[in-house]
Structure formats: C-alpha cells, structure tokens
Structure 1
C-alpha cells in the first residue's frame, strides 16, 4: 500500500492537468468557431438548452456540472443577447428556453463546432476518445460523490 501511495504522490496534480487540457481544447474550439459569434462555452450552454427545452435551471446546472451562481453568470450575457429566455417553472423553479434568435445562433454555429469536433477526435483517435470520454465521466462522478 505504501508503494502505491508514494507513486500517487509523484504524479502531477490531476486537477491542474485537466484544467490545462481544458484550456487548450477550449482555445482550439473557440478558434475554429471564431466567425460564429459564439464561444464554445456559450455554444455548450445553448446547445444543451436546445436539446431539452424548456429546461429547469437546476437540471441545466446538473448537466453542465455548474453551481447555480456560475450558471446565472453564464446565462446573463446569453439573455442580454436575446438568445435565451428565463421563465417561471413549477413552484419557485425557473426554466430556460432558446428564443428564435438563440435557435438561429446554435444553427449558425453547429457546422463550426462539428468541424472542431471532427478535427480533434480524428487526430486523437475515435477509440481513444471514447475511452477518454468515459474516464472523464468517471472523474465527474467520483468528484461529485467525494463532495457528499
């Protein structure tokens, strides 16, 4: 057991490695999507809303692995641009949906996003990406369980 613990101590910080990869990949997607008027972060929020609208904000926060405050900060500029509308849901819950302008923004950005996705996954390898995506989902689950 001591050898295993010692080996873990010699590794680079998992969080820093993931954040570094995230920044590099985000920068790549943002560059490919530059002419669309949406950043990758904005596209991800809008795309997830479009797939499930109207969507309770709590569900969107869960899907995006964001706390409520961060989600509201992410939604504010999207609302200002006229891409999303916040509405009353059941009880005190709020829901979000895309406006016509939001649907148009997603439609106009999807080809660029698909091009970035295709380039990255083809270069990385489809099987390798599948394994990495599964491992990343495991990390999300493990991290969330560790906080409870």
Structure 2
C-alpha cells in the first residue's frame, strides 16, 4: 500500500535504524552467498578493497572511510592479518598504517568477479536509477547522523 506523504508522521514510521540493520543483514547475506566459494566474506572484501585503493593507509583514515570506531576496526583487521592479507606498519608518531600484502591483493583479485556478479544481480533487480537515488540518500543519512553525534 502506498502512503501519501501528507499522511506520514514520525510516530507512524518504522525505526530508521532497525530498517537499515535489517536491509544490511539481508544484503550482506546475499553477497556472502554469492562470494562463498572465494574464501572471503563481504565484510573482509570491503575492508581489503578500501585498503588497496589507498595504501598505505593510516588506520584512523580507514576507520573514517568505513565509518567504524577504532575498536571495531581492530577486531575486523585481526583475522585479515592472521590470513596474511594485510601488514600493519608504523606511521607518523604512534599512528599505524595498513597495506595489503601480495596475498591480500590476490584475495581481492580472486573475489572481485564474485562481488561484481552479486552487485550486478542486485542492482539490476533493484534498478540502476533507484539504486543511485538510494545510495545518495544513504550517504545523506551517514552525514546527518555523524553531524548529530558531534553536537
């Protein structure tokens, strides 16, 4: 049933956070199933890919890019280091930087086709224009929520 915007109220809406978490879990599950034969999860792929795009990358910058607090980021990096996919190096002062190892570059390369297949499948079914609008709206939500937490 389509509701007209004039009849919407804040109290009548689904919780934004719960709706996004449900969508995130479902989409993550979809990507993970498409990528299951690669030996890497979507979450690992996302971290590795972001590192590979900007390496060597200060951990503070990676946390900002991924919108993660440092503790969560460190927990996410531990299995990647254990697999030999990343290397942590000393940066400026006490800061650390992260980079992909050759094994990490290989893991990303071996998973990219499966990721592209998942991406293509989901976007084609959802609609390219609709996804572009949704992506912009999600970025706006990130910005708004980050600004609100710093006030």
Structure-1-length-normalised TM-score: 0.96
Instruction: Give CA deviations for 1:33-90 in whole Å, capped at 9, x if unaligned.
Output: 0000000000000000000000000000000000000000000000000000000001
Query: Unaligned stretches of 5+ in structure 1?
Result: none
* 2-structure distance, mates of 1:10, 1:121: 29
Of the three residues 56, 59, 68, the one matched with 2:58 is 56
RMSD of aligned C-alpha atoms? Answer: 1.0
Residue 20, structure 1, aligned to residue 22, structure 2: yes
Structure-2-length-normalised TM-score: 0.94
* 1-structure distance, mates of 2:99, 2:133: 32
* 2-structure distance, mates of 1:75, 1:95: 12
| Aligned positions, number | 144
The match for 2:127 is: 125
The match for 1:138 is: 140
* 2-structure distance, mates of 1:140, 1:51: 21
Query: Unaligned stretches of 5+ in structure 2?
Result: 1-5
* 2-structure distance, mates of 1:41, 1:10: 33
Which runs of structure 2 are paired with 1:91-106 in the superposition (5 Å)?
91-106=93-108
Which runs of structure 2 are paired with 1:74-93 in the superposition (5 Å)?
74-93=76-95
Shift of 1:10: 1.1
* 1-structure distance, mates of 2:60, 2:76: 14
The match for 1:41 is: 43
* 2-structure distance, mates of 1:50, 1:114: 17
